[in-house]
Structure 1
Amino acid sequence: MELLLETVALYSLKLAYETEGHSPILRDDPLMGGCDREVFGLLVRKGDTGEIRNKVNHCLELALQAVGGAGTALGRELDRLAADFSAARTMDRFEDPLVALKGYLKDAQ
């Protein structure tokens, strides 16, 4: 779960901040802030679904802004997928929306 959370955060931040011709954003980039595997691992062990949702949603909001907001074709789909993730209230319900987000964000790059 931690790797999947980190990957969604990474792809979101890549979409928001990575520019052509510059160094790519990597997992150990300071830009990742508190969205790395170790932080997510701690939150998963604590069962802190609210904080996990907050961290991922923050990254998704940045990605949504990067694609032009919810009014664009890319933004509408990202917004829908983000809403599916936000609706998940338990850890076991996170996986399907996260897999969908990961695939979408990877393709959007």
Structure 2
Amino acid sequence: METSLETVALFSLKLAYEEEGLSPILRDDLVMGDYQKDVFELLVRRGDVESIQFKMNECLGLALDALGGVEKPLGRELQKLSAELSRAQSMEQLNQPLSALRRYLKDVL
């Protein structure tokens, strides 16, 4: 799960900050500092669903803005998937929406 969380964060930050012609954002870039696998690993071990959702919502909010907000079709779909992640109340319930977000953001990129 930690890798999926990191991947969703990475794809979200790529949408928000990566510009064509510049170096791509990588997992070891400073912007990924609070969203690296080891950070998520700690939260997963603790079972801290709320903190995971908070961190994901930060990144997904940036991605939503980069997609033009909820007024645009891509933004509406991202918001729908983000809402499913926010409704999760256990670690197990995070898996399906997290996978859907990862696939969606990969397709968008």
Question: 2: distance between equivalents of 1:33 and 1:69?
Answer: 25
User: RMSD value over aligned CA atoms?
Assistant: 0.6
Do structure 1's residue 69 and structure 2's residue 69 form an aligned pair?
Answer: yes
- In the TM superposition, residue 2 of structure 1 has moved relative to its aligned partner by 0.4
Residue 48 of structure 2 corresponds to 48
CA distance in 1, matches of 2:84, 2:97: 6
Task: Determine helix, strand or coil for the equivalent of 1:86.
Answer: helix
Matched residue, 2:102: 102
**1:29 matched residue in structure 2:** 29
SS of match in other structure, 1:33? helix
Gap regions ≥5 residues in structure 2: none
Distance in 2, Cα, partners of 1:89 & 1:21: 41
| Deviating 4+ runs (over 2 angstroms) | none
Larger fraction in helix = 2
Using the TM superposition, give the Cα deviation of residue 82 of structure 1 relative to its aligned residue in structure 2, in angstroms.
0.3
Tell me how far apart the structure 2 counterparts of residues 76 and 34 of structure 1 sit (CA, whole Å).
Answer: 26
Q: How far apart, in 2, do the equivalents of 1:87 and 1:33 lie? A: 26
Which residue in 1 is equivalent to 2:59?
59
The code of the aligned residue for 1:83 comes to A
Name stretches of at least 5 consecutive residues in structure 1 with no aligned partner: none
* 3-state SS, counterpart of residue 24 of structure 1: coil
> Shift in Å at residue 15 of structure 1?
0.7
Give a deviation string over 1:51-104, Cα, whole Å, max 9, x none: 110000100000000000011010000000000110111000111101100011
Cα deviation for residue 33 of structure 1 reads 2.3
Aligned residue pairs total 109
Deviations 1:21-63 (A, max 9, x none): 0000000110012110000000111111111100001000000
> Residues 8-27 of structure 1: CA distance to partner in whole angstroms, max 9, x if unpaired?
00000001111100000000
